Structure 1
Amino acid sequence: MSVTVLVLVGVLLLVVGGCVCVVWASRGGPRWVRVVSSVTLGVAEVVGTLARSSGRSRSGSGSSSDD
């Protein structure tokens, strides 16, 4: 296995674990689960903001579907 595959598998496991913690925290899990859930939701919001801003910069001055 290459290092790239191992890194991708590690990231996938972190994402799945974060999603599990979000669901578990919504059902009243322990404190550490709520902390992991908050971190996961915060990272997701940052990634979403970055993706939207990079999408806007690539689209240039073309028409937007957000109208």
Structure 2
Amino acid sequence: MMVLILSGVLVLTVGGCVCVWWAARGGPRWVRVVATATLATGELARRANRSDRGPSGGGGD
């Protein structure tokens, strides 16, 4: 079951990256929508990762 979920996440990630690439080259509207959603999701993940580190910067010591 876990392999199926991870496979789905991988397919969505690769598909989103392809849409970002295609949208940068003037793809159709639905591709630009998916690309925007992909970039927004990536930004949310980045912000969540930064806030998890705390004020020390997450040195990992």
TM-score range, shorter chain: 0.7 to 0.9
Q: Using a 3 Å threshold, how does the CA distance of structure 1 residues 63 and 21 change in structure 2: closer, same or farther?
A: closer
Q: Using a 3 Å threshold, how does the CA distance of structure 1 residues 62 and 9 change in structure 2: closer, same or farther?
A: same
Matched, 1:41 2:39: yes
> How many corresponding residue pairs?
59
Identical-residue share of aligned pairs (%) = 53
**CA-based RMSD:** 1.9
Gapped runs of 5+ residues in structure 1? none
Gapped runs of 5+ residues in structure 2? none
TM-score normalised by structure 2 residue count: 0.88
* Letter aligned with residue 19 of structure 1: C
**Equivalent in 22, 42, 52 of residue 50 of structure 2:** 52
Where 1:9 maps in the other structure, the secondary structure is helix
TM-score normalised by structure 1 residue count: 0.80
Structure 1 residue runs of 4 or more that deviate by more than 2 Å after TM superposition: 61-65
